[in-house]
Structures are given as C-alpha cells and as structure tokens.
Structure 1
Amino acid sequence: MKFENKTVIVTGGGTGIGKTTAKRFFEEGAHVIINGRREDVLKKTALEIDPSGKKVLPVVGDISLPETSKKIVQVAIETFGGIDVLVNNTGKFNPTPFLEHTPEDLQSYLDTIVKGTFYPSQAVIPEMKRRGGGAIVNTGSMWAIQAVEATPSSAYSAAMAGRHALTRNLAIEFASDHIRVNTVAPAVVETPIYNTFMSEEEVAKVLPGFNAFHPIGRNGTPRDVADAILFLASDSASWITGIIMPLDGGVTARLR
C-alpha cells in the first residue's frame, strides 16, 4: 500500500471529494484525520470509512481560525506521531452575479478557501520539516483558470486563484525542505456541493446538462479527483511541485 503508516490530514473531509479522498488514503494504509464544521457528518464519515475508529479520526472546527489547524496538528502528533500529507480541500460554491455579492459573502469565500489553505499549511509545515519532508495537495478549481459564463462565480474564482497562488509560492519557498505543494483544478464534479443552492430535483435536471461541457463527454466524480490527489501526494510524483493540474475532461485544453 502506497501510504502505509503515513499520516494524512484532509480538510473538508466529511462529504464529496474530501470524503472519497480520505477513504482512498485509508485504503492505501494511511492514518487519516478529517476536519469539518459539522460534527455529526464528520463522525459518521469517520466511522463509515473505518468502523474500528482507530485509523480515521474526526477533528471538528472552523478551518478559517488558526486554532483549528493547531488542534488538528496536535491530534495528529499525539495520536499518530507526525504528519506526512495535508489535503486542503475546503470550499464553497454558489454562482452569484458580481454585483450581487455582499461584503459578508466575499469574506466567507476568503475564510473558507484562502484562510482554509493558509492556516493549515502554516501549521503542518514545521512538522513536515522535522520529519524531513512531506506533501501538500490543494483542491483548486477550473473557475480560477477560466471564467464560465453559465456560472458567474467571481468571489469563488478569486478565492481559488488565491489557493493557486499559495501553491506556487509555498512550492518554491519549501522545496529545499523536501515539501512538495501542488493543486488539482477540477471542472464540474458531481458532489453534494450543488445541493447547497439547488434542490435534489434541480440537481438531477441541471448537472447532466454539463456532461457535454467537457470534451471527454462526462462530468467528473469524486474518485476522479481523489485518485489525482493521491498521485500528487505519493512518491510517484516526487519530482512534481508547484503545478496546477487541470482535472476537467479537456475543457481548458479546448479554450487555450
């Protein structure tokens, strides 16, 4: 198993891409800590992945607060002895016309995505340095690379662009410490995030319409993204750092 006895932190780990990613790391032998704000969802996910309750632990807290990241790191060290991989996976997405964004709305994107990358990375990097290296993989977005007329998302895109920028900056700053930092940038992935602003009926009607948006002919799945994250976190990607990897079924290739 690729991650036998490694310790992995996955933020936004209760549902969707984060849940599938945590499950894949567990299947590959890792100890996993998942973070999120909803205690019931997080605990249910942890036990669903690992019924023993020994190798997948939930740590509840708001990732926009530095103390949450410090708590996660403390649990990782005390329980599993250190940290090898961090997956910054927090996000929110609600297409909104630019002129309708409020100050509170904008701040929520910056809290969830930018602070949700900055503080966890700041907390784990000293521990990775002590262990001689590690890997950080961020879940970015195609919307930070390419605007999509059908889904106006200026605040989301700006925040994700910040996550992309942090990827490159941290990759360069900590390359000599053998800490690799990369990002995956998905297009439309079928996750519960769409249920936060659409009903089940609307999701069932709208999402299939995006299949043709991708030249490959289908929307993405959480497993598509999770497998790419595991690759970038693995030794197979030991000479890869500072990249933004499109996971978009060919969308950005067509637009270039």
Structure 2
Amino acid sequence: MSSNRFSGRTALVTGGGTGIGRAVALALAAEGARVVVAGRSREPLDETVALIERAGGTAVAEVADVSRAADVQALVRAVADRFGSLDVAVNNAGVFRGAPLADLCEEDWRTLLDINVTGVFLALQAEIRQMRTQPGGGAIVNIASNLGRHKQVPFAVAYAASKAAVASLTRGAALEYIADGVRINAVSPGASDTTMSLRPGETEAERAVRMKDQSPLGRVSSLEEVAEAVLYLASDAAASLVGTDLVIDGGAAL
C-alpha cells in the first residue's frame, strides 16, 4: 500500500526512460509525486509517462541532454513553471563504456565525463538554484555506483572514475547547500536488474548463475530495491542524512 510520502511534491528524474530511472519515476508517482522524466530520446520517456498515467499518476516527459547546460537549465525552469516547484531531483542519467584503460578510446572517455560527471554537475547547479529559492528547499539524490569509491573491477576503470566523481560532487555539494535547505545524497547501486549488468552476449539466466559466486547476496538487486533506497533518501524520514552514499549491492563491495 502506498504511503503517499511525496503527495503534492514535484520530482524530476533524469534518465527516466529506462532501467533505474524508470523504476524510480514509477515509485515516486505511486507515492503521490508529480513526476517529470527527462532524457535524450522521446519514445522511452513517453513509455514511462504512459505507465505512470495508467496507474493513476501524473507525469510529463521532457527531452533534454544533461551534458548541455542550456538543456538542463531549460529543463529545471520548465518543471518549476509547470508545477510551481522542484521538490525532489534524481540525477540518474548515465552511460557505461568498458575497456582496459590503455585501450579505451578518447571518445569513450569524454562521453563518460560529459554525461556521468558534467551531467550531474550541471543538473546540481540548476536544481540547487531552484530549490534554494523555495521555502521548503528540496532533496537531491545522485545515482553513483559501487564501482569507484567503493570497489574496482577490471575493464571499468574509466567508468569507476566517473562515478567516484559523482560521489565527491555529492559530498561537497551536500556540505555547501544544506544550510539553504537543499539536502543532497547518493545511492550507489551494484549489479542490478538492467542490461548494463549483462556481459556481452550474456543472458539473464547466465548472469544469475554468475552472481551466485560474485555477490555475497547471490543475486542482482531488483530495480524496486534500488528505487526504494532513492525514495528513502528523498523522503522526510531521511531528514538528517546529508552527503550519505548508500550502497545497494548485496555486499559486493565489502
């Protein structure tokens, strides 16, 4: 049963067309939030909106590239203009590029930085500027990773570096803006039920067998489990959590 923790609040989810972003958007809407989902491709965003509306929720899709400052500023302005406030922001948009470090092409490196790091930086700037004008402030949750700050694996060094930067941005921004009523935290998922956790050519069944050995929990995290962690950090129940990095990986980084 829904607790309506976010009734009357407006939430923005970047990368809201698929995977963790879609799961978070659905969960926020189920608990009363008006949800704006953003991403670079219209079709998956519209699919997320349709799922939310079919369940009785309110959602809007906005096409935006988080690596472009003008897009991000226009996105946050559109959210505030349409609904009057931005109460929750989930900076989830991200990409993975994997290769041994010496073999990673410069284009892939720049893509990781542009979307995973600069995208979060630009989103934080625009969201903070809006939230600190609001009497109730706001809550921001960045999606980092258990790779980077918590764990390293071969062939993901560049991706891990980009997500370690997200963790650092989270802690620094949290310290700077909590006095303005803007509370910032991060969730760091490990392998979860998305295509990103599949190795090239691997099936979900084969992944399940591999995870029995690789994760102390013995499985990937469900999207609903990751979404619940995000909602907790964004909710009033986590009011004293500032700069927290909540790892959801079944113990893989221990």
- The TM tier, using the shorter chain, reads over 0.9
- Structure 1 residue 248 and structure 2 residue 249: aligned? yes
Is there any run of 5+ residues in structure 2 with no aligned partner, and where? none
Show the counterpart of 2:213: 212
| Native 8 Å contact 1:13 1:34 kept in 2 | yes
Show the counterpart of 1:163: 166
Structural RMSD (CA): 1.8
Question: After superposition, where does 1:19-98 map in structure 2 within 5 Å?
Answer: 19-51=22-54, 55-98=58-101
After TM superposition, give the deviation of residue 221 of structure 1 in Å: 1.1
| Native 8 Å contact 1:194 1:203 kept in 2 | no
Sort the Cα spacing of 1:89 and 1:212 in 2 relative to 1 into closer, same or farther, 3 A: same
Distance 1:15 1:211 in 2: 25
| Native 8 Å contact 2:30 2:57 kept in 1 | no
| Native 8 Å contact 1:47 1:53 kept in 2 | no
Question: After superposition, where does 1:228-239 map in structure 2 within 5 Å?
Answer: 228-239=229-240
Q: C-alpha offsets along residues 166-193 of structure 1, whole Å, 9 cap, x if unaligned?
A: 0011000001012111111111111133
Task: Name the one with the larger helix percent.
Answer: 1
Distance 1:120 1:68 in 2: 10
Q: C-alpha offsets along residues 201-222 of structure 1, whole Å, 9 cap, x if unaligned?
A: 5454235412332212221111
After TM superposition, give the deviation of residue 54 of structure 1 in Å: 7.7
Q: C-alpha offsets along residues 228-247 of structure 1, whole Å, 9 cap, x if unaligned?
A: 00000000000001111111
- Structure 1 residue 136 and structure 2 residue 137: aligned? no
Sort the Cα spacing of 1:148 and 1:169 in 2 relative to 1 into closer, same or farther, 3 A: closer
Distance 1:146 1:244 in 2: 10
| Native 8 Å contact 2:39 2:65 kept in 1 | yes
* Identity, % of aligned positions: 35
Letter in 1 for 2:186: T
Show the counterpart of 1:222: 223
| Native 8 Å contact 2:152 2:160 kept in 1 | no
| Native 8 Å contact 1:168 1:243 kept in 2 | yes
Is there any run of 5+ residues in structure 1 with no aligned partner, and where? none
After TM superposition, give the deviation of residue 103 of structure 1 in Å: 1.2
Structure 2 residue matching 1:252: 3-state secondary structure = coil
Letter in 2 for 1:210: M
Letter in 2 for 1:135: A
After TM superposition, give the deviation of residue 136 of structure 1 in Å: 0.6
- Structure 1 residue 177 and structure 2 residue 180: aligned? yes
- Structure 1 residue 123 and structure 2 residue 121: aligned? no
Q: Does 135-144 or 213-222 show the bigger shift?
A: 213-222
TM-score normalised by length of structure 1: 0.92
Aligned length, in residue pairs: 250
Q: Does 208-217 or 19-28 show the bigger shift?
A: 208-217
Structure 1 residue matching 2:253: 3-state secondary structure = helix
Distance 1:50 1:84 in 2: 20
